[in-house]
Structure 1
Amino acid sequence: MDNYTGKDFYCDIALAGKVELDVVFEDDHVLAFHHTRPFWPVHIVVTPKKHIPSFTDLGEHEPEQLVHLMMVVQHITREVENEYGAARVLTNLGEYQDSKHLHFHVNFGGPKC
Structure 2
Amino acid sequence: MDTYTGNDFYCDVAIPRVVPLDVVHEDELVLAYHHTRPFWPVHLVVVPKRHIASLTSVTTHDESDVRAVLEVVQHVAASVERDRGAAAVLTNLGTYQDSKHLHVHVSSGPPLRP
Cα distance between partner residues in 2 of 1:112 and 1:6: 24
- The Cα offsets for residues 12-59 of structure 1, whole Å up to 9 and x where unpaired, read as 001111010000100000000000000000000000000000000113
Letter in 1 for 2:91: T
Deviation at 1:60, TM superposition (A): 4.7
**1:23-102 correspondence to structure 2 within 5 Å:** 23-102=23-102
Q: Secondary structure of the residue that 2:75 maps to in structure 1? A: helix
1:77 and 1:4 map into 2 onto residues whose CA distance is 28
Instruction: Work out whether residues 33 and 46 of structure 1, in 8 Å CA contact, stay in contact via their aligned partners in 2.
Output: yes
Q: Which amino acid aligns with 1:67?
A: R
Letter matched to residue 6 of structure 2: G
Say whether residues 1:19 and 2:19 are aligned partners.
yes
Secondary structure (helix, strand or coil) at the match of 1:71 reads: helix
User: What percent of counterpart residues are identical?
Assistant: 59
**Aligned twin of 2:106:** 106
* Superposed displacement of residue 65, structure 1: 2.1
Amino acid at match of 1:17: R
Amino acid in structure 1 at the alignment position of 2:29: H
Could you say what secondary structure the match of 1:110 adopts? coil
Gaps (5+ residues) in structure 1?
none
- Count of aligned positions: 113
SS at match of 1:62: helix
- Equivalents in 2 of 1:65, 1:4: separation in Å? 26
- Give the deviation of 1:111 after TM superposition: 0.5
Structure number with higher helix proportion? 2
Q: 2:71 is matched by which residue type in structure 1? A: M
Stretches of structure 2 that go unaligned for 5 or more consecutive residues are: none
For 1:94 and 1:2, locate their aligned partners in 2 and report how far apart those are by CA, in whole Å: 22
Per the TM alignment, residue 61 of structure 1 is displaced from its structure 2 partner at its CA by: 2.6
